[in-house]
Amino acid sequence: MSGQVYPPPPPAMVPQPQPHGQVAANNWAGNDANTLLVVATLITTLTYQLGCSVPGGYWQDTLAADGKQKPHEAGDPIMRDKHPQRYWVFMAASWMGFLASMMMTLSLLVRLPVDSRQVRWSFAVAYSSLVLTFIVSQAKTHISIDIVIWLVTVVFLWLMISVRPDHRERILRFFCCNREK
């Protein structure tokens, strides 16, 4: 028995990942579902964190109404009291991005095709909502300009991920690189 050599065991069968749906020629830069799941998870994490940590911080003290200053309680967001419109746009953008990225995650987990409208639309909304939360948190422009920038970002992203690659190249050249010689 000591001199017998047993044949090595056969290699274990490793299950191959199943395809994630049909990817059309318009696959927006060759992204696969796993890449988009990572992106959706990162956007979900960022938007959740943004919703929990409002720019400007939170009041550390409680101030009763005295006629001179607006009252507040410890733990309330400062941005909500000093810039209420900006605060509500910030919170709406944060939650919109969170919900859109969660929808994108669930869509990919149930194996919707990467090129489906639901996946593309949720990506465009989630990503552009991050842009809006950043712009609103800076408090340098009028709130209506911030919303217009968000709308332009959604439309631009939607165009970039929805059109065929050859048309995408022409659109990019037209808007940013129109240097025909």
In a domain, 159, yes or no: yes
Residue 8, pLDDT score: 67
Domains held by the chain: number = 1
In a domain, 67, yes or no: no
In a domain, 114, yes or no: yes
In a domain, 65, yes or no: no
Ranges of residues in the chain whose predicted pLDDT is under 70: 1-6, 8-31, 67, 139, 177-181
In a domain, 133, yes or no: yes
In a domain, 35, yes or no: yes
Q: According to the 3-state scheme, what is the secondary structure of the chain?
A: CCCCCCCCCCCCCCCCCCCCCCCCCCCCCCCCHHHHHHHHHHHHHHHHHHHHCCCCCECCCCECCCCCCCCECCCCEHHHHHCHHHHHHHHHHHHHHHHHHHHHHHHHHCCCCCCCHHHHHHHHHHHHHHHHHHHHHHCCCCHHHHHHHHHHHHHHHHHHHHCCHHHHHHHHHHHHCCCCC
In a domain, 1, yes or no: no
Residue 29, pLDDT score: 44
In a domain, 158, yes or no: yes
Residue 134, pLDDT score: 83
Structure tokens at 5: 């050599």
Residue 103, pLDDT score: 92
Give the structural domain span for 160.
28-48+81-178
Residue 23, pLDDT score: 44
Residue 25, pLDDT score: 47
